[in-house]
Every structure is written in structure tokens, then in C-alpha cells.
Amino acid sequence: MNHLIKFFVMKSGYISLMLALLLVVTIHAQKDISFEAYDPISTLVVPENPVIKAKFPFIDIHGHQYRMPEQDLGPVIEAMDTLNMGIMVNLSGRSGEKLIKSVQNIKEHYPNRFVVFANIDFEGVGSDNWTANAVRQFETDVKNGARGLKIYKSLGMRYKDSEGNRLAIDDERLDPIWAKCAELGVPVLIHAADPRSFWDDFDGDNERWLELKTHPRRKRSDTDPAPWEQIIGEQHNIFRKHPNTTFINAHMGWYANDLGTLSDLMNEMPNMYVEIGAIIAELGRQPRNARKFFDRYQDRILFGKDSWKPEEFPTYFRVLESDDEYFPYHKKYHAFWAMYGLNLSDEILKKVYYKNALRIVPGLDKSLFPDE
């Protein structure tokens, strides 16, 4: 490049120098494209077996329908049928009147295709009778049709008690709630914290750099609101303290990228189940290791998706079912890497897709699923 500039300067002076610099800048701009813009189309030619519809009917243990008290469930059912989803567990069942209305809507239209989990508002923990009231309300919600309890990540991240302190997940004032779930025979699905990378420095070493760039409010730190290990540790504490309560750890407890540690936790806490919502890209980048994990813990892994985007489910099916290599994931900010199929056996697929959920969530219609 330098000799080109010298040539122009010698030949025709200042104007040519400017033109040459412009040329250099342009060439440089083409070479130095942004990370977002670099999205190369794979040239690899290998067998491709996309899976549009799950091989067996399945239960989505981690669904969200936020307008269920009044919404027309028809379009949701239509998409569910396309995917082969037998039952959706709507974790946003809320409480009280809203929950009653959702259950009513289900009963009137699709009585065996949806169930709801209740939610608890942790505002005001520490004020008079908060715990007794919360337990009583949850009991009523279960009587009214809730099949479990969903705890959002706001517990541990956002809620404060009546004194203004961060409400820890393992706060003793919440113990009667976890105990009540065991007594009523309903599971708790709990999402705690967020991916570890959100607590790490926002720089080129961070695997979630793109997600933090596009969603800057997801960035956390040791003081906003607390260290990741602490919040996750609080979650494990309640699992240990309530061995008779069934806990479904959402998003594989954010250990899908470290299945060795997750195995240790599974071994230590037999009442902990995991679901795979939003972490399929972690499994799809370690197909051999993940397959071993599914072999070992086949009775305690559940299918879940989280956000209701029907077009994203086929990636999940393909990772679980196929033997395909190096196929694309649907969201670059979760994964800038490609997927590989785990090629799970039919026996394990059935457990993950529906058998495990049928066992731990009460009152699901078994007739929707093959029984062998």
C-alpha cells in the first residue's frame, strides 16, 4: 500500500494523495467488517435432516402465554399441532382471579392441552402475615387448578424485603412455600440469576458480548444485585433444605456449558430436575458430552422452550433427534457457533419429551402420548 501512495504523491501531488488515502480507507473498511456483519454462509456440504415436527408428542414445561385469561387459544393450538406439542405448561398463570380465568378459558376450549403454574408476588416479605397469606393464596390457586409453582428470576435479583434488603432465594421466610409444594405434590419450576457471562467483563473475551451489546440492561455485577455464585448458591440451598419438594431447575440451572458441575449437582440433589429452555445451543456444541449427560440423567431432564416462538422449536428437535453436523442456530447473540445433533434414542426422547413431565406434574392427560 505504501508504495502506491508514494507513486501517487510523486506523480501528481496533493490531490492524488487525497485520492490514494480515500482508496486506502475504503479498502480498509471492507477488510474490517463488524462482528455482527460477519455472518458467513457455511460452505460445508453434509447430509441435512431438518426436523420440523417432533418425532413424538411432547410437553413444553416452560411455556409463556401472558394473556391467557382472555386470549383466543386457537392460534396457539394450531402452532402446537404443527410442532407436535401435546401440552403446554403456561408458567405465567399468575394468581387469584387471573388464574381462575385462565383455567376457565382452558376448560372451555382445550381442556387437556394447557395447564398453568401459579406465581407469587414477593413484594412485602417481612410485613405482618406475609408468609401465611402467601401460603394460603398458593393453596387456593392449586385448588383452583394450578399444577405447580413458577418462580421468576426476579426472586434473588429484584425483590427487596420490607426492610429494603435484597430478598435472597433461600430466605427463611419463604421456607413454608417450598414445604407446601411438597405437601400438595406439585413441582416448583425456578429460574435463578442469568448466564454467568452477564456478570463477566463486557469485552472481547465475553462469549455473550453480542447479547450484552444488543441488550445492555442484562449486564450484571457483584453488586448489581449480588455475585452470580451467591444467587445460584441460594437456589441450591433451597433444593438441599427441601428434599421432598420437586424442583425443576430452569435453563439447566445455567450449567449447560459445564455439564461436569451440573452432574455433581444432579448427584447431590435427587429432587432437582432440569429443563432445557434457551440453552439448546450449549448442548448443540458438545453433542458427545451432552449425549452422555442425557444417558445418565434421562429420568430428570424435561423439554422446555421458554419464549413462544414456534419457528425456533425445529432447532431444538434437530439437536435432540438428528445426527446432523454443523447446522445453524437461530439466534447469533446466543451462539455464533453451529449445532450438532445428539441423536438421542427413542427411549430417551420419550422421557425428555413427555414421560418425565407426566410423572412429576399432576393431572396431565396421558392419553395424548404413546404409552410404551
Q: How far is the CB of 295 from Zn ion (least distance, A)?
A: 27
Binding part of the chain for Zn ion, among 94-102, 196-204, 298-306, 330-338 by CB under 5 A, reads 298-306
Q: Which is nearer to Zn ion, 316 or 369 (CB)?
A: 316
Q: Least Å distance between CB 155 and Zn ion?
A: 13
Which of 306, 324 has the CB closer to Zn ion?
Answer: 306
Nearer to Zn ion, 192 or 364 (CB): 192
Give the nearer residue to Zn ion in terms of CB position, either 170 or 306. Answer: 306
Q: Minimum distance from CB of 360 to Zn ion (Å)?
A: 18
Q: Which stretch binds Zn ion (CB under 5 A): 171-179, 201-209, 301-309, 324-332?
A: 301-309
Taking the complex as a whole, the smallest distance from the CB of residue 105 to Zn ion amounts, in Å, to: 20
| Site size toward Zn ion, by CB under 5 A | 1
Question: Looking at 92-100, 203-211, 254-262, 305-313, which segment touches Zn ion (CB under 5 A)?
Answer: 305-313
Smallest gap, in angstroms, from Cβ of residue 93 to Zn ion? 12
**306 in contact with Zn ion (CB under 5 A):** yes
User: SS3 letters for the chain?
Assistant: CHHHHHHHHHHHHHHHHHHHHHHHHHHHHHHCCCCCCCCCCCCCCCCCCCCCCCCCCEEEEEECCCCCCCCCCHHHHHHHHHHCEEEEEECCCCCHHHHHHHHHHHHHHCCCCEEECECCCCCCECECCHHHHHHHHHHHHHHCCCCCEEECCHHHHCCECCCCCECCCCCHHHHHHHHHHHHHCCCEEECCCCCHHHHCCCCCCCCCHHHHHHCHHHCCECCECCCHHHHHHHHHHHHHHCCCCCEEEHHHHHCCCCHHHHHHHHHHCCCEEEECCCCHHHHCCCHHHHHHHHHHCCCCEECCCECCCHHHHHHHHHHHHCCCCCECCCCCCCCCCCECCCCCCHHHHHHHHHHHHHHHCCCCCHHHCCCC
Question: Residue 153 or 292: which CB sits closer to Zn ion?
Answer: 153
Q: Which chain residues interact with Zn ion by CB under 5 A?
A: 306
